[in-house]
A and B are shown apart, each in its own frame.
Chain A
Amino acid sequence: MTPPVPSGSWPRAPWVRRLRLPTQPLARHLVLALCGAAILYAVTSSLSPYNDFEVGEIALYVIALAGLSLLTGLNGQISLGHGAFMAVGAYSAALLMTHTHLNLLIELVAAIGAAGLLGLVIGIPATRLKGPYLAGMTLLLALALPPIADKWSTTFGGDQGLTTTVPSAPGSINPEEWLAWIQIVGALITLVLLANLLRSRYGRSFRAVRDDEIAASLAGIHVARTKVIAFVISAACAGLAGAFLGLSTGVVNTGEFPLTLSIQLLAAMVLGGTGTLMGMWWGAVLLVYLPQWSTSLSGDFNLGSGASAYLATIIFGVVLIVVMIAAPTGIQGGLRWAWRRVWSLRSGPGDGTPTVSRHPA
């Protein structure tokens, strides 16, 4: 990925200047998360149960995409196999649900841990690999893991898969909204934690290693360790997302985690804006709604039911190609650019106001 185009001057709207966010990372990100939570609460409580279900799905994809964005955009490591980490998370949580009666929280932590562990196993050799090699290895990972569940079908439920159970909703809240909220809270917590991390020395080390490994090591950064940490965090995020996906679908089977999922995650991440966290909301919205739009689109053009299943795939593929050749900053980058344009037009040319460092969160 080309490093983000330096922003130069980024004038802010006057009201933004007045509305100061706290500078302490936790406080700052909590405020943002609470604002997000308030908006999402308003959204979910006004929507139908089915739409709530979709909002929950968006939230879970945000988790996976944020992890991927950190890995690829900020640390320069590519993964074509994030679906595999989601599968590990989903199966781990589902196995615990089938065989034990633990708290959902513990099941989620187990999913995060299991996926993180696989991230460690893959991440250690990955430290020695350059782009194409790592891409090939993770591509193979995405194809290699799902058949294992078919091989030991008594444990993993074979084609039927494992069923998951959502904890019953308190009070009169409908189950879809309750699940959506579990997933939204998970997403917001993940984003807050990642945003904190990226504003610390770890975030700086990730980017430094991405830009120049030799200079990073001379600055005292343990390059290999930094890359493994990024990989584990990213895999752990995918694990949590996988566990949530299992909750959404109600059943975990290998059909949920084809290679296409991994590639769609990559496409959504690239389109949202590689290396950003907030841009992942755009990517997740696309992941959830693009298949629906393409179905209705192919209906409009009478392409037949066979075509509709593939139209979304084609669009994702075209998006990957076009974004890479024409606009490597994705939607979030495009919005930032447009925002800057609007305000630099307002404040007039030659406005040399202090520039603002572009934080990734």
Chain B
Amino acid sequence: MSAPSTLSERDGRTLRVDELRVGFGGVVALDRISMSATQGEIVGVIGPNGAGKTTLFNVICGFVRADSGVITYDGSSLLEHHHAHDLTELGIARTLQGVGLFAGLSVLENVMIGAQNGLRSDFGSAMLGLWRSSREERRLASRAGELLEELGVSAYARHFPATLPYSIQKRTALARALIAQPSLLLLDEPASGLSNDEMDELGTLIRGLSPRMGVLLVEHHMDLVMAVCDRIVVLNFGQVIADGTPESVQSNPEVATAYLGDEVHDSVTTSGMSENA
């Protein structure tokens, strides 16, 4: 993929999350968290199951409403009058857990979908099948084809996703996010279901994105996170418990405890359950 020509204009776009609070019923999913990610930076968001990582993504994308707090991207708020379909125009793209591909669209079409918001031709010319529309279609298709080529899956361009190996599907989903040339990419568990080798390739791929865009990476495979991230934000029980370089996170005992838990000593008895639960 060629770097967008407008790179210099977009340089330094930043996602800022400030004192964000989200609750479902009585449960606090995100408890006044603050963090940021700037274009060119790869930020990992980790934490044990249920820590609030996916909720954070969902608030950014407008699927979940925040109770309080602020999210801005490049200065504009993402919380008011904000819909998921506006994200691409702001330069934000997201992949979904699993693959989230369209089963009834070929791999090529799945990728084309990602950038068709930028098309100019109107409804009339599409319906009449005018050159204006079809030329644009052809250009989009060839751009999608090039991107698939770069990701090494162009052989499958005309296949339907369900018939393909999982790693190919994952790459297609990534291509769909990349074709919009986002300045911020949200990756939701991109490595799930991949083998070790495939994960290494994914790591190289993500690293290669970094000058062009900011990447927010939710991932459970620590090898990958530690290898590719510039900075890591650790969530636990909806709070940020660490934010720093991979090295600092690795040496943080609180992080290890969040993942591994504490030992249960013989002195702990069940009689206390009634009071403390």
Which residues in A have some Cβ–Cβ distance to B below 8 Å? 3-4, 6-8, 24-27, 29, 192-193, 195-197, 199-202, 204-205, 207-208, 210-212, 214-223, 229, 354-358
Q: Please name 16 pairs of A and B residues whose Cβ atoms are closer than 8 Å in the assembled complex, sorted by A.
A: A24-B131, A26-B130, A200-B121, A201-B137, A202-B123, A202-B126, A204-B109, A204-B112, A204-B116, A208-B102, A216-B113, A219-B176, A220-B89, A222-B83, A223-B85, A357-B106
B residues in contact with A217, CB < 8 Å: 83-85
Residues of B within 8 A of A (CB): 61, 63, 83-85, 87-89, 93-94, 96, 100-106, 108-109, 112-114, 116-117, 119, 121, 123, 126-131, 133-134, 137, 140, 158-163, 176, 180
B110 nearest CB neighbor, chain A only: A208
**Least CB distance, A323 to chain B, in whole angstroms:** 18
The 5 closest A-B pairs by CB, nearest first: A6-B160, A26-B129, A196-B129, A220-B88, A200-B126
Task: Write out the residue numbers on chain B whose beta carbons fall within 8 Å of the beta carbon of A356.
Answer: 158
Q: Which residue of B lies closest to A225 (CB)?
A: B85
Bound CA span A216–B127, Å: 21
Given contacts A24-B131, A193-B127, A218-B94, contact A201 B116 (CB under 8 A): yes
**Residue in chain A with minimal CB distance to B117:** A220
In the bound complex, do residue B129 and residue A204 qualify as a contact, i.e. CB atoms below 8 Å apart? no
Besides A6-B160, A218-B85, A355-B158, 8 more A-B contacts (Cβ < 8 Å) are A6-B161, A26-B130, A199-B137, A204-B105, A207-B109, A208-B102, A218-B94, A220-B180
Query: Given A24, A29, A211, A355, which contacts B102 in the complex, CB threshold below 8 Å?
Result: A211
Complex alpha-carbon distance, A211 and B176, angstroms: 15
A4 to B102, CA, bound (A): 11
Contact A215 B96 (CB under 8 A): yes
A357 touches B116 (CB 8 A): no
When the two chains form their complex, are residues A200 and B158 in contact, meaning their CB atoms are under 8 A apart? no
Q: Which residue of A has the minimal Cβ distance to B105?
A: A207
**Min CB–CB distance B151 → chain A (angstroms):** 17
A218 with B127, Cβ < 8 A, contacts A4-B104, A24-B134, A210-B104 known = no
Shortest distance between the CB of A217 and any CB in chain B (Å):
4
Question: Complex formed: what's the CA distance from A205 to B89 in Å?
Answer: 17
- Using Cβ atoms and an 8 Å threshold, which residues of chain B touch A8? 159, 163
Query: Shortest beta-carbon distance, A206 to chain B, in Å?
Result: 10
